[in-house]
């Protein structure tokens, strides 16, 4: 349309499905849209995504300026920052604590919280969704700030959940008019039509509180000499030794605070959602549970719980994690990239400034890579030798992003998902459960959220699968609750 282009075509509900419909309708992996002052392109296949955002990452590593990010207060999130030296400083600082060689440092705490969750579920299986969030949030908050989460209603858990809901809602591409007419951000929120301003007013206190409050607490404890070991404490100590009482101290303190906040914000929601989707898949596809338990019984046995070292001998468990990431990617259209210069691809001109939306959800449902893509089938990743098949496309090369903007925390996230999957499947029989009237719950694959999605339904019918399993749960609960 004149002036507004395709603005009215932008989907607001499950946009990834509409993106795929466009690609199918036009028989193309690239669909171009013209929005007011903002060209946009849907990338519908893994091949095109790799060709552009991997092989030409020097051209496609930027982010578009998003006014909504600023309104909700999440412009400190370096995953959303433009490709600048300021971003690189954040990325470099984050990588120092999450490079692959650092992963073993975090494994004991992952194991502790995965096993503590087993006891929480036994006490109140009806709150399985909340127990999963508590497990993931507790682990991330512990390594980031050295603080222990006290329960489901902990202030930091609820603040993070509200903040991340706001960030997710603000990140849907092309649906907020403030992106096209930035002056709208200054119009009072009580006027009609100022949805974006009201969204910012509602969520920004939670987003900034999620970053600022725990950081201030750690700094105060550092001053008193009582801060427990954590990433935040390490960052503060490092900055004080390098930049204390210099002009650079404030800048690097801000970078460190942002990095700590991103560690918490980026990991809590994504890993929580993947863990919940895994649980949903187990209830919907019980044959997968049977196969997983047979492998666990053979490798681990009934007298102990799985360890991280067991995972190398548990290819089917690792395949379950891969299939969870493929079946329900928690960031179905990732975070859009932005072209830093004019480019040409297979005869098409891509103007500088074009926003690229990688339709990750559609890529991971490509029947050429994954037959019967709607089915949850971990066996698709297992080769004839019983090990992971390197000839099947690894979904982690898609689900964690592309090129220079790939998720730097992916190694820790995969380790967390893997030990969680092994632990829960080893001791629990997972079924949908019963509703308040005693009728079996009908689970669906419906989702909630936008940038980050979560399952609408999480099974609550978790019961220890044997007396031996009951004993293992009790022993783990006694051991770790004592800690």
Q: Provide the H-helix boundaries in 171-248.
A: 195-224, 231-243
The yes-or-no verdict on residue 194 having pLDDT over 70 is no
Residue 37 has pLDDT above 80, yes or no: no
Tell me if 1 is assigned to some domain.
no
Q: Is the dihedral of CA 432, 450, 25, 366 positive or negative?
A: negative
Give the C-alpha separation, 19 to 16, whole Å. Answer: 5
**For the CA atoms of the chain, what is the radius of gyration?**
23
463: β partners: 429
> Domain for residue 66, yes or no?
yes
Q: For residue 302, what pLDDT is reported?
A: 95
Domain that holds residue 107: 7-482
The answer on pLDDT for 425 being more than 80 is yes
Question: What local confidence, expressed as pLDDT, does residue 121 receive?
Answer: 96
On whether residue 131 sits in a domain, the answer given is yes
Domain count within the chain? 1
Chain mean pLDDT for the chain: 90
What per-residue confidence (pLDDT) applies to 185?
66
Q: State the burial class of residue 468 (Cβ atoms within 10 Å of its Cβ: 0-12, 13-18, 19+).
A: middle
Say if 214 falls within a structural domain.
yes
**338 annotated among ligand-binding-site residues:** no
Each residue of 104-118: pLDDT tens digit? 999 999 999 999 999
Q: What is the pLDDT of residues 446-481, one digit of tens each?
A: 998 777 899 999 999 999 999 999 999 999 988 877
Residue 299 has pLDDT above 90, yes or no: yes
Predicted pLDDT of residue 452: 86
pLDDT for 482 equals 64
The answer to whether residue 34 sits within a structural domain is yes
pLDDT tens profile 137-187: 899 999 999 988 887 788 877 887 788 777 777 666 666 666 666 666 666
459 falls within a domain: yes
Does some domain include residue 2?
A: no
Q: What are 148's two structure tokens?
A: 């222990």
Can you give the pLDDT at residue 183? 60
- DSSP calls for 245-296: TSTTHHHHHHHHHHHHHHHHHHHHHHHHHHHHHHHHHHHH-HHHHHHHHHHH
Q: What are the tens digits of pLDDT across the range 375-411? A: 999 999 999 999 999 999 999 999 999 999 999 999 9
Query: In the chain, how long is the greatest CA-to-CA distance?
Result: 70
CATH code (residue 99): 1.10.630.10
Domain presence at residue 124:
yes
CA 449 – CA 277 distance, rounded (Å): 13
Do residues 451 and 331 touch, judged by C-beta distance below 8 A?
yes
Tokens of 92: 């470099």
Give residue-wise pLDDT tens across range 196-242. Answer: 777 778 888 888 888 899 999 999 999 999 999 999 999 999 999 99
Query: What's the pLDDT tens digit per position in 316-363?
Result: 999 999 999 999 999 998 889 999 999 999 999 999 999 999 999 999
Residue of 41, 19, 16, 62 whose CA lies nearest to 402: 62
In the chain, what percentage of residues exceed pLDDT 70? Answer: 94
């Amino acid at each position: 349309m004149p002036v507004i282009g395709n603005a009215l075509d932008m989907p607001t509900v499950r946009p990834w499905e509409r993106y795929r419909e466009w690609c199918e309708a036009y028989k193309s992996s690239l669909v171009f849209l013209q929005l007011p002052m903002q060209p946009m392109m849907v990338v519908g296949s893994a091949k095109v995504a790799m060709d552009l955002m991997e092989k030409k990452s020097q051209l496609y590593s930027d982010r578009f300026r998003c006014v909504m990010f600023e309104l909700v207060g999440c412009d400190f999130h370096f995953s959303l920052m433009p490709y600048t030296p300021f971003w690189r400083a954040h990325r470099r600082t984050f990588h120092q604590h999450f490079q692959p060689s650092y992963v073993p440092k975090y494994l004991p705490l992952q194991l502790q919280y995965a096993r503590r969750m087993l006891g929480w579920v036994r006490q109140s299986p009806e709150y399985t969704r909340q127990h999963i969030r508590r497990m993931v949030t507790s682990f991330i908050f512990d390594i980031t700030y050295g603080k222990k989460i006290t329960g489901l209603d902990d202030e930091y858990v609820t603040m993070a959940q509200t903040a991340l809901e706001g960030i997710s809602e603000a990140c849907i591409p092309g649906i907020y008019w403030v992106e096209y007419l930035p002056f709208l951000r200054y119009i009072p929120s009580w006027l009609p039509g100022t949805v974006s301003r009201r969204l910012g007013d509602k969520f920004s206190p939670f987003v900034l509180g999620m970053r600022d409050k725990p950081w201030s607490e750690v700094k105060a404890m550092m001053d008193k000499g009582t801060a427990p070991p954590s990433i935040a404490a390490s960052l503060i100590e490092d900055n004080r030794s390098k930049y204390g009482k210099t002009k650079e101290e404030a800048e690097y303190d801000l970078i460190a605070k942002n990095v700590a906040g991103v560690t918490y914000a980026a990991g809590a929601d994504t890993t929580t959602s993947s863990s919940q989707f895994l649980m949903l898949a187990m209830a919907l596809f019980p044959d997968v549970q049977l196969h997983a338990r047979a492998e666990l019984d053979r490798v681990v046995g009934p007298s102990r719980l799985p360890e991280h070292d067991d995972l190398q001998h548990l290819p089917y468990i690792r395949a379950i994690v891969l299939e969870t990431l493929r079946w329900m990617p928690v960031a179905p259209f990732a975070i859009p990239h932005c072209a830093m210069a004019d480019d040409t691809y297979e005869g098409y001109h891509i103007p500088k400034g074009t926003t690229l939306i990688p339709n990750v959800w559609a890529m991971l449902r490509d029947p050429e890579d994954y037959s019967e893509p709607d089915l949850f089938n971990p066996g698709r990743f297992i080769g004839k030798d019983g090990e992971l098949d390197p000839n099947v496309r690894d979904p982690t090369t898609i689900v964690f992003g592309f090129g220079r903007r790939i998720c730097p925390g992916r190694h820790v996230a995969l380790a967390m998902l893997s030990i969680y999957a092994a632990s829960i499947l080893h001791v629990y029989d997972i079924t949908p459960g019963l509703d308040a009237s005693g009728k079996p719950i009908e689970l669906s694959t419906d989702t909630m959220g936008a940038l980050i999605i979560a399952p609408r339904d999480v099974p609550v019918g978790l019961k220890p699968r044997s007396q031996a399993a009951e004993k293992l749960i009790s022993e783990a609960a006694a051991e770790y609750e004592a800690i």
